[in-house]
Chains A and B, each alone.
Chain A
Amino acid sequence: NAGVTQTPKFRVLKTGQSMTLLCAQDMNHEYMYWYRQDPGMGLRLIHYSVGEGTTAKGEVPDGYNVSRLKKQNFLLGLESAAPSQTSVYFCASADRLYEQYFGPGTRLTVT
């Protein structure tokens, strides 16, 4: 089992560019999440999904969109990147028990 994987691991964007972050899990989990972590802070929830074809907003959704077309994948899109979106992005998945499994993170810099 690979667990939760994230692609890419690092990315540098210019202001106004777009990109998509891919999260994949092979544990057949229903729930998937995107968080961002800014320096010296805890993780904040951007968007989440409770099953294939569903998405919902979290605490800090502005500037991001998500899609869950397949159960194993959860995509996070930035349509027009801004320097305020410079952060480390974590994807996580969970089953009907309690633990969330996190991916290794994607470090995004917007210049």
Chain B
Amino acid sequence: AQKITQTQPGMFVQEKEAVTLDCTYDTSDPSYGLFWYKQPSSGEMIFLIYQGSYDQQNATEGRYSLNFQKARKSANLVISASQLGDSAMYFCAMREGRGSSGSARQLTFGSGTQLTVLP
């Protein structure tokens, strides 16, 4: 089974509007972390936001927020007030385990969502 599923290959949003990018995950580990990365056309991977499985509140970073619904195993990224510079590929990723000694802390990535912001 896929550990990270992103069901939207492509999304369009009008400039200044909000957009939600979907991510569902599958794990039996009670301790995990969820990440969102942005990959613009230049190719680099840019860290956006992190949510730990034990975090009580949804993570927020500026215009980015993570809608974490643990029972539904979803971790959707919400971008408010979209800008033209937000056009990029967005990846959801998961790290399983608490990261104690010996844990590799590697990430498993989804297939990504290509977001296009329209002027």
A binds B: yes
Q: Interface of A with B (CB < 8 Å)? A: 31, 33, 35, 40-45, 48, 50, 56, 58, 88, 90, 92, 94, 96, 98-102, 104-105, 107
Q: Interface of B with A (CB < 8 Å)? A: 4, 33, 35, 37, 43-45, 47, 50, 52, 91, 93, 95, 99, 102-112
Are A58 and B106 also in contact (CB < 8 A) when A41-B111, A105-B43, A105-B44 are? yes
User: What residues on A are CB-neighbors of B104 within 8 Å?
Assistant: 31, 48, 50, 56
Report whether B47 and A100 are in contact in the complex, using a CB–CB cutoff of 8 Å: yes
Q: How far is the CB of A67 from chain B (nearest CB, A)?
A: 17
Given A43-B107, A48-B104, A100-B107, 10 extra CB contacts under 8 A: A31-B104, A33-B107, A43-B45, A43-B93, A45-B108, A98-B35, A99-B47, A104-B43, A105-B44, A107-B43
Q: Which residue of A lies closest to B50 (CB)?
A: A98
Cα separation A94 to B97 with both chains bound (whole Å): 15
Report whether B52 and A98 are in contact in the complex, using a CB–CB cutoff of 8 Å: yes
Q: How far is the CB of B36 from chain A (nearest CB, A)?
A: 12
User: What residues on A are CB-neighbors of B4 within 8 Å?
Assistant: 42
User: What residues on A are CB-neighbors of B44 within 8 Å?
Assistant: 102, 104-105
User: What residues on B are CB-neighbors of A41 within 8 Å?
Assistant: 111-112
Cα separation A31 to B43 with both chains bound (whole Å): 22
Report whether B109 and A43 are in contact in the complex, using a CB–CB cutoff of 8 Å: yes
Cα separation A42 to B94 with both chains bound (whole Å): 12
The 8 Å CB contact of B91, one of A43, A96, A104, is A43
Cα separation A101 to B47 with both chains bound (whole Å): 8
Cα separation A100 to B108 with both chains bound (whole Å): 12
Cα separation A31 to B103 with both chains bound (whole Å): 10
Cα separation A44 to B93 with both chains bound (whole Å): 11
Report whether B50 and A48 are in contact in the complex, using a CB–CB cutoff of 8 Å: no
Q: How far is the CB of A6 from chain B (nearest CB, A)?
A: 11
Q: Which residue of A lies closest to B95 (CB)?
A: A98
